[in-house]
Amino acid sequence: MTRPIIIDTDPGQDDALAILLALASPELAVLGITCVAGNVPLDKTTINARKVCELAGRSDTRVFAGASGPLSRTLVTAEYVHGKSGLDGYELPDPVMPLQEQAGVDFIVETVMNAPAQTITLCALGPLTNLGLALQAEPRLGERLQEIVLMGGGLFEGGNTTPAAEFNIYVDPEAADMVMHCGAPVTMIPLDLTHQTLTSDAIIEAFRSMPNQTGPASAGLLDFFERFDVEKYGSQGGPLHDPNVIAFLLQPELYGGRVINVEIETASALTRGMTVADWWGVTDRVKNVNYLRHVDVDGYWALLQERLATLR
């Protein structure tokens, strides 16, 4: 039985590997990819998502344009990490496959509301604006979803965009706040976890030596992606954030965490976008999030390499 998913994304090199992992995994049925402004503006994320689908030999995948900016904030992008194109590091040809006519937010609402209840999982890899707009359009959406699995937030690792906030949540904290209280089961994969899944020379060389195009392309993307974190944090490699969302669906036994309360700071300028995660249970606030903190790092890389090696 395949698991139907919608991927909401702002590619981004790490988003790209998450999309490749999903398209390489027969356990998952990618109903559509909805793009959002985040790492780079929307016109680039819609191009990048299609480039990645064509790299995977999956030009049949439906790709939609979503929001070009946050619900109420000014868009903040991250070219300093991902490069001007958002996919710097490996030259992929301009896409031939079309962008779908339908608006991405309408696709999310129509697909989820027309499917049997609790059968579709939404995998959020970028700012949560599209999901916020979908919830505004259809408040029942949350209860209709099987699960929302999102990369975002952080507690023990602090933030990567401000000292308090991780990028995906920082860009659109109002949308994130809506998601935390939308009625769907929410699994959050924060920096506390993704800062453990660091690239390394050996990992990147394993991709580069794959006898296909996907492997070397992934290696090129990772070479570029990791340089920011290595230079900024002096880390051994770059944290490959987004593929953890898909890996969690494929092998949940690789992950561990707690169901806790998470609230989003939307009022303070200083701590805008902070995920106030009650890991130690010091409040009696509702436990609304499955907050993952632990990952079998070797298992993660083994899964990613095994699956990407099956692509062309």
Nearer to ligand RIB, 18 or 134 (CB): 18
Under rule CB under 5 A, residue 4 binds Ca ion: no
SS (H, E, C) the chain: CCEEEEEEECCCHHHHHHHHHHHCCCCEEEEEEEECCCCCCHHHHHHHHHHHHHHCCCCCCCEEECCCCCCCCCCCCCHHHHCCCCCCCCCCCCCCCCCCCCCHHHHHHHHHHHCCCCCCEEEECCCCHHHHHHHHHCCCHHHHCCEEEEECCCCCCCCCCCCCCCHHHHHCHHHHHHHHCCCCCEEEECHHHHCCCECCHHHHHHHHCCCCCHHHHHHHHHHHHHHHHHHHHCCCCCECCCHHHHHHHHCHHHEEEEEECEEECCCCCCCCCCEEECCCCCCCCCCCEEEEEEECHHHHHHHHHHHHCCCC
Distance (Å, whole) CA 180 – CA 254 = 24
Active-site annotation holds for 82: no
Stretch binding Ca ion (CB under 5 A), from 10-18, 24-32, 184-192, 269-277:
10-18
Q: Any contact of residue 10 with ligand RIB (CB under 6 A)?
A: yes
104 binds Ca ion (CB under 5 A): no
Q: Which one of the spans 78-86, 116-124, 238-246, 274-282 is the region binding Ca ion (CB under 5 A)? A: 238-246
Smaller CB separation from Ca ion, 8 or 278: 8
Q: Is residue 151 close enough to count as binding ligand RIB by CB under 6 A?
A: yes
Q: Using CB under 5 A, which of 4, 7, 8, 15 touches Ca ion?
A: 15
14 binds ligand RIB (CB under 6 A): yes
- By C-beta, is 171 or 184 nearer to Ca ion? 171
39/261 with CB nearer ligand RIB: 39
Active-site pick, 181, 195, 241, 294: 241
| Residue 288 binds which of ligand RIB, Ca ion, none (CB < 5-8 A, kind-dependent) | none
The CA-atom distances, in angstroms, between 172 and each of 44, 86, 307 are: 19, 19, 32
Of the two residues 147 and 166, which places its CB atom closer to Ca ion in the complex? Answer: 166
How many residues touch ligand RIB (CB under 6 A)? 15
Q: Smallest distance, Å, CB 46 to ligand RIB?
A: 15
Examine residue 12 and tell whether it contacts ligand RIB (CB under 6 A): yes
- Within positions 242 to 271, which residues make up the interface with ligand RIB, using CB under 6 A? 242
Say whether residue 12 binds Ca ion (CB under 5 A): yes
Residues that bind Ca ion (CB under 5 A): 10, 12, 15, 125-126, 242
Residues that bind ligand RIB (CB under 6 A): 10, 12, 14-15, 38-39, 125-126, 151, 160, 166-168, 241-242
